[in-house]
Structure 1
């Protein structure tokens, strides 16, 4: 509530921009899509929809939420993210990008393609029997990932083995919702972690991500650029990450 409310107040005071905060179900109940594509909520035309929900399956508890998402997507409002931008961040898309000859669709320079490909960990679907057997025999070398972000969703170790065996015995259809990934073992370094006014020294690992800004109108790309970074750090003994879920800490880069 704190960061979002501050943005809401600033938008109103500095720019005269009104913010309406609604659940998906409430948008379905009061939203209206005009013939010109304008989304109307509470009588106000909506220029931009910024999603703070809709990322988890639990956010779609009924058909009302799905109808609201469809209403928003069909409107002319800027969506942050649009459904296509939302889906491009899923693990399945990462898996597709790692396949042979796919990067060539987006990059022309062979050197750039090879450098990007060297950064990929192994990504497999459940149809690869030999890899699935390897994961059951040596689960510590793999991670089983659903199409989710934010920490607390991935499956490791004995739980990974048990999940693979259970879903495999059930016919394997549910395994299509997951991808199997080669587990990454980054080097750990000593770090001071601070939470609720207390600190602890731990061997920690970090994850570095780049923020991107992307805006398009149909096939016309208006903005496609990097615009900052996010670095999170967690104790090396933890499997999961995620700041909001309580596993990781915000951090800054220290170049040596």
Structure 2
């Protein structure tokens, strides 16, 4: 689906006095409502916070494409749940060349394979986020194209809700942003968005399915996390709205604390603060860590991950579900008939749409495919050879992606040929029969966002904005509980991150991207 929407000239003009007033209102709103990050150098316990990077005004987004992205999320939830349950497919895709040339993915796949026959918890929980960019195809108009699908640590749900609430407050407090634009004066252009509420409800569904009202939810977190308030809001929501306590621990702490009952396989955590009390049973393990190699500085962290995986607790995500979010999976899905098999095959389990053929249609398949852009393997197949030619002869049209999460890992445009040469140089020292280094990557056609859109971006902790040519990335959250008779499949809200067009990579914590909200336009 594409639309012929002409995005409005943006932002509308503000007087210096109006601009200063919006800076004051937005910064005080952010600080008083927990729309915050820790400063780059913060003490423990923290004694200060800064406003999260934000946009002074919401950013125009075509209403029809926003509605489309939201409507597709249950389909994507079902797709990735079914991928996760297909061990043969994961073995073929992730257990092949990727596991041999990518150390991190190899450890993840081999670890999962070593313990998967002994798993005692069939239920799996996914808090997903599907990310899209607007694509200006010139002839066909503006459409949305998927950047990636996140199956682990899909962050900023709480802060995204706060961003939308802040923009609504600014509009109400200033007579529709001083009546500078009719788009800003219409409340229906500010979509309802409650990812904090919905993601917490998803974790609560996992807790309820586990079936022990005295159990806790475990957040596995990184050391020195600056995005702690986004996580804390989830913790508060679980406690206040669902009466579910949360315990936070890092991998290093869990390596000495985590215990598994040999009979029940319950995951038990004694309290370091009250060691005389009985250990608490864990119902759900929610990872806001474990997605990057730096989270596993030694073999001890991998051993802890495997220990947690073999427990009775519901994992969010499991190691299999984390593997399903790899870029290589995204690329293989684009190959002929693969998507059809997962969504239309009569042997597929019920993950929220019923079982097998008839629960979904070819129209559903086509709707998903419309959100994809060119994806290619970097192997020695005929398609892989074509990709190599494209990457070296027309690099300005492509991005080279490794199997990584968290941003800052991609190779863009003119940097691709020299990077492939570096990989080829490394291959001169490989053992005969091993795959080439490039097989750990995929090639993706660059999405071309519409040009000419600008906004006022405020870096965290600063009392000024900069006017930037922008690119906005829309994320749609989803909740999926699957693997047993209890099935949940829901859309859970959205996130809009906006950055200056000059930057290929994002990153809210480092100040490149701002947390924004969409202003729907027709």
Normalized against structure 1, the TM-score is what?
0.90
Cross-structure match for 2:506: 241
- For residues 455 and 253 of structure 2, the distance between their equivalents in structure 1, rounded to whole angstroms, comes to 45
Secondary structure class of the residue paired with 1:94:
helix
**1:100 deviation in Å?**
0.7
Cross-structure match for 1:192: 456
Cross-structure match for 1:252: 517
**1:181 deviation in Å?**
0.8
Q: For residues 6 and 253 of structure 1, do their structure 2 counterparts lie closer, same or farther at Cα, with a shift above 3 Å needed?
A: closer
1:168-208 CA-to-partner distances (Å, cap 9, x unmatched) read 34336222222111111111312221222211111111111
Tell me: higher relative CO, structure 1 or 2? Use CA pairs within 8 A at least 6 residues apart.
Answer: 2
1:134 maps to 2:390:
yes
- For residues 236 and 449 of structure 2, the distance between their equivalents in structure 1, rounded to whole angstroms, comes to 41
1:220 maps to 2:476:
no
- For residues 11 and 116 of structure 1, the distance between their equivalents in structure 2, rounded to whole angstroms, comes to 33
Secondary structure class of the residue paired with 1:170:
helix
1:37-71 CA-to-partner distances (Å, cap 9, x unmatched) read 20012222111212121010111111111111111
Question: Tell me, which stretches of 5 or more residues in structure 1 are unaligned?
Answer: none
Higher strand share: 1
- In our comparison, the structure showing a higher alpha carbon Rg is 2
- For residues 240 and 494 of structure 2, the distance between their equivalents in structure 1, rounded to whole angstroms, comes to 28
Cross-structure match for 1:119: 371
Question: Tell me, which stretches of 5 or more residues in structure 2 are unaligned?
Answer: 1-227, 271-278, 345-359, 428-434
1:128-157 CA-to-partner distances (Å, cap 9, x unmatched) read 123212212222111011122232111113
Residues 133-152 of structure 1: matches in 2 within 5 Å?
133-152=389-408
Deviates more, 1:2-11 or 1:131-140: 2-11
Secondary structure class of the residue paired with 2:520:
coil
Cross-structure match for 1:4: 231
**1:15 deviation in Å?**
5.9
2:285 aligned to 38, 44, 49, which one?
49
1:21 maps to 2:240:
no
1:157 maps to 2:413:
yes
8 Å contact 1:150–1:241 — kept in the other structure?
no
Please give the root-mean-square deviation of Cα atoms over the aligned residues, in Å: 2.1
Cross-structure match for 2:55: none
1:38 maps to 2:266:
yes
- For residues 58 and 248 of structure 1, the distance between their equivalents in structure 2, rounded to whole angstroms, comes to 22
1:209 maps to 2:475:
yes
8 Å contact 1:151–1:242 — kept in the other structure?
yes
Secondary structure class of the residue paired with 2:465:
strand
**1:21 deviation in Å?**
2.2
What is the total number of aligned residue pairs between the two structures?
255
**1:164 deviation in Å?**
1.0
Secondary structure class of the residue paired with 1:220:
coil
- For residues 10 and 226 of structure 1, the distance between their equivalents in structure 2, rounded to whole angstroms, comes to 18
1:230 aligned to 455, 478, 495, which one?
495
8 Å contact 1:151–1:245 — kept in the other structure?
no
8 Å contact 1:51–1:80 — kept in the other structure?
yes
1:182 maps to 2:434:
no
Secondary structure class of the residue paired with 2:373:
coil
Normalized against structure 2, the TM-score is what?
0.46
8 Å contact 2:378–2:440 — kept in the other structure?
no
Q: For residues 116 and 8 of structure 1, do their structure 2 counterparts lie closer, same or farther at Cα, with a shift above 3 Å needed?
A: closer
- For residues 416 and 479 of structure 2, the distance between their equivalents in structure 1, rounded to whole angstroms, comes to 35
